[in-house]
Amino acid sequence: MSQPTAAPPLIRLEGVRKSFRLPNGEAFDAVRRTTLEVSEGDVFGLVGQSGAGKSTLLRLINLLERPDAGRVFVAGRELTALSRTELRAARQQIGMIFQQFNLVQNATVFDNVAFPLRIHGRHGRAEIDARVRECLDLVGLSEKVDSYPAQLSGGQKQRVAIARALAPRPQVLLCDEPTSALDSETTRALLQQLREINQKIGVTIVIVTHELPVVQALCRHVAILEKGQVVEQFAVDGPVASRKTVLGQEIDALVRQRSRETHQQQAAAPVQLRGVAHA
């Protein structure tokens, strides 16, 4: 009997490289030759110190940064081979959210979420209306449809940004430090929301973060970057292994700590329940 063949990755960065010109004219290698694959439905974290090249690598996925060398594939298409018009259409497959939300301040929540649908001119009014309301429902913000961004909290603004990113039904959601501007309670709620969205609609998430608890709480796989290169990559809940990097060891320690806490809570639960029953 033949072996089942593994599904091809949804995202493949193949030997990509990106350098920037410094003010003194020298070239700075932000991403050195890198190959990276992300499976469909995954939640994949990119972590590393400041300046390691995380955001640049993320922005290579939708060609917000064009690689100096190498190829980028998303959902079976080579984005690096597309014309500008083809690329604009292909980008409908890739939503993105940012640290500072990037909402249009003088537009309502409805108009912010409708924006990516309107610019492509392929959707009728009723269709846009239904899709905007569906996306706001998905992020729990239906009642804010007529508000303006200034009337929302940071967490709510990021939810609007998520609804806007998801409106064109992308297969991929890129997240560039989405919780860095949020307090810890709001961060927890937003991570829960992203987890639910990943499970509910199967969108593949790639997230840049410098917060290791975000990796522990959300990601299934993680790649650790140093000086523009992936130096280590592993399954976050995978078997304990000796990690090459300090960040890898710290992620493992967090995962183990969380798992111990969960076991302790589970062990304590029947006692608490008995206590309640006797009260």
Ligand X SMILES: Nc1ncnc2c1ncn2[C@@H]1O[C@H](COP(=O)(O)OP(=O)(O)OP(=O)(O)O)[C@@H](O)[C@H]1O
Task: Give contact residues for ligand X (rule: CB under 6 A).
Answer: 20, 28, 30, 48, 50-56, 210
User: Which is closer to ligand X, CB of 173 or CB of 225?
Assistant: 225
Residue 10 · residue 38 · CB < 8 Å: yes
Q: How far is the CB of 273 from ligand X (least distance, A)?
A: 44
Q: Which residues pair with 38 in a beta bridge?
A: 11
User: Which is closer to ligand X, CB of 48 or CB of 170?
Assistant: 48
Scanning 100-245, the segments in alpha helix (DSSP H) are: 109-119, 125-138, 154-166, 184-201, 212-218
User: Which is closer to ligand X, CB of 113 or CB of 223?
Assistant: 223
Q: Which of 159, 170, 258 is nearest to 214 (CA)?
A: 258
User: Which is closer to ligand X, CB of 108 or CB of 229?
Assistant: 229
User: Which is closer to ligand X, CB of 48 or CB of 155?
Assistant: 48
Rounded Cα–Cα distance for residues 235 and 238 (Å): 5
Q: How far is the CB of 55 from ligand X (least distance, A)?
A: 3
Q: How far is the CB of 64 from ligand X (least distance, A)?
A: 10
Q: Which two tokens stand for residue 64?
A: 């917000």
Q: How far is the CB of 99 from ligand X (least distance, A)?
A: 9
Q: How far is the CB of 35 from ligand X (least distance, A)?
A: 17
Which amino acid makes up residue 232?
Answer: E
Q: Which of 245, 242, 187, 244 is nearest to 216 (CA)?
A: 187
